[in-house]
A and B are shown apart, each in its own frame.
Chain A
Amino acid sequence: MSDWKMVIGLEVHSELATNTKLFCSCRNKFGGEPNTNCCPVCTGMPGALPVLNKKAIEYAIKMGLAVGCTINNYSVFERKNYFYPDLSKAYQISQLEYPLCVGGGLEIEVEGKKKFINLDRIHVEEDAGKLIHDNTGTMIDYNRGGVPLIEIVSKPDISSAEEAVAYLEKLRETLLYVEVSDCKMQEGSIRFDVNLSLHKEGEPLGTRTEMKNLNSFRAVSRAIKYEAKRQAEVLNSGGKVIQETRRWDDEAGKTYSMRTKEDSQDYRYFPDPDLVPIETSDEYIDSIRKTLPKLPQERIIEYQKLGLTEQDAKLITTERKNADYFEAVVSLFNEPKFVCNWICSEIFKKLNSSEEIDTDIQVSAENLAKLLKLYKNNTINQAVARQLFDEMWKSDFDPEVAVNERGLAQMNDTTDLEKILQKIIEDNPKATAELKAGNQKTMAFFIGQTMKATAGKANPKLVGELLQKLIN
């Protein structure tokens, strides 16, 4: 295996999060009773005609711009003709000769090594329906038929399973950032095809096989490792790799031959005469460019300039909603590192412990900024800050108001605190003796007692200082 080099190209199908389907006004929604989000267009009835969804084009362009593609001013939908029960018209409307987006790419990092993966193209096409099998037959549900997809095709620049996963993670992150797809793998809204071949350094490329419809990063990684090993074994034993489509069986952890190139389909692509070419002006493309959010790579650099470590900057930018939230809080309370620490600890803890997959941050940026300000300037101590935050997460409120109304401000008055400490020292001679003897562990006991006596409002730092003064 060792001297074989993997050459991998990935095709990623991602459903676009539009309201309606690509060519009709039926709802674009996962699941539902079979054939209830359907009409004559998406079930291929005689006489029905497709009408292109503007939003789908906008979303595809948006993604194209986010990964540095050139957007073609002239783009054409073509028919890919083949018979299969999930394809109601017996052709899929897709793009071949004139795709919407070409070129571009994105940078990945594997074990500290950066690498740029080039894209070949991004094109728009419609999804097929869903087949459900039981022991009597195959049932066809066209609810998914006609849902808009983009197919993102990479150049064969990927050379390991790790790179493939890094590339896919980056792509997913970008899709979520520009908000064109929900990327829910469990619902199949993002799916992967892998093309893989082996060759030796300096030698021409080998014959490739294709594995279709993988639906998790793990499956991609395992399929690549398995298939590379299989091809290497074939080649090492003097055999030849056959150009074919292979099915990945996730349970068995193996690939199986599906069809070879000889009986591969002749798709007879030609421009769909029911649709007109899509002409997009530079002005239109620019207007979409203006709606692009700042992307992670840009934010990571920016955040580091604000004083965050690279690791923290990466962590906070993995999801756009967190990064946007971070920026919103910082704009109100300019202590980036302090804000970042709170988000990465307190907020991520809440998000991760939530049972729902897509929990939103429950505290407004304004209120968190106020809370952190109160904490940072010693108006409240950490315990109170955490307690308030807990309450705010359940039902958001203005912490300034709460601190005032409930008198939660820290006791920073030394005379008052001294009196309280004096009493605690008198009541606890044993502990005082230990503290005097230098047992710092008892400090915690005293702080605890002070908090109890002040309803948690004492400034712990101040308590420590006063205590040292009093016992000496």
Chain B
Amino acid sequence: MHGNGSASPRPLAIEARGLIKRFDGFTAVDGVDLSVPEGAVYGILGPNGAGKTTTLRMLLGIIDPDEGYRRVLGADRPHDVAHTIGYLPEERGLYPAMKAVDAIAFVGALRGLPLKEGRRRGRELLEQHGLGYAADRQIRQLSKGMAQQVQILGTLVHKPRLVVFDEPFSGLDAINQGKLERMMRGLAEDGTTVIFSTHVIAHAERLCDDVAIIAGGKVPFAGPVDVARDRIPAQVRLETRSGDGPWRAALPADLRRDGKSDGGAFWYFPLPETGIEPLLRALIEGEAGILSLSIERAGLHDAFVAIAGEAAARALEEESPEEMRR
């Protein structure tokens, strides 16, 4: 694997090199390199079983890598900076008998925040997110989605510099997914580094500056989203009145060769390195009867397929077909 990394001048919140983790002879993570700049929203994409959670657990010091090293917020041992990290695990859980505000304060206390201050901030956060009325309700009295929101707030109560979310959108409805996306953007704007894993590419595409694609325990790509997209050349889409007319003879030879028709009114051409102008000129001169002409850049999903392979993309779609469609 290798991530080409962004040429970001920002210092790194997370730097990992050659992380390997084996369980009973099974290599769950196989040489992962990551560079997450401070203040970035960083996505880790991959299907279940790809090694996302194991990678995050190694970054957080929950488990140690068998090989390789990681540096988190400048510390070689992540627990040394645990008070500046927030973590939402994939398997959510809070004490059912605890009140929402106490649950938030308890998670803060684990990160070094005094309980009293944790309760004060907990109430404040619940109010800010429209859950003030539930502050004194026990977790078992809340809906699953509300409990999840309480846990997310617990992740943030101690004002961490780095927040790690493992599959944060699963279990949330569309409205709350939107809220969470806004919250993540807000955190990054305040300088907090946000790293999250997901198997829903749309979230990563909307939120992330950089992504790492994990498949089979390896990272075939890590870097800016735009660089991932650029792995697939952009193309020009032409809609014309005369599907296959004399205008084609006016095209430059390479475009005439590489252009593909959908059998109807649409034609697709690779975007020339010199830009769209020569194509446009030829179309006008050939009187192609242009109805529409646009440059189409690849989406992150296409990039994912190109980078991780069809199998990984299929595995991703099998896990959450509805979310993929959304």
Asked if A and B are interacting partners, one says no
- B positions within 8 Å CB-CB of A: none
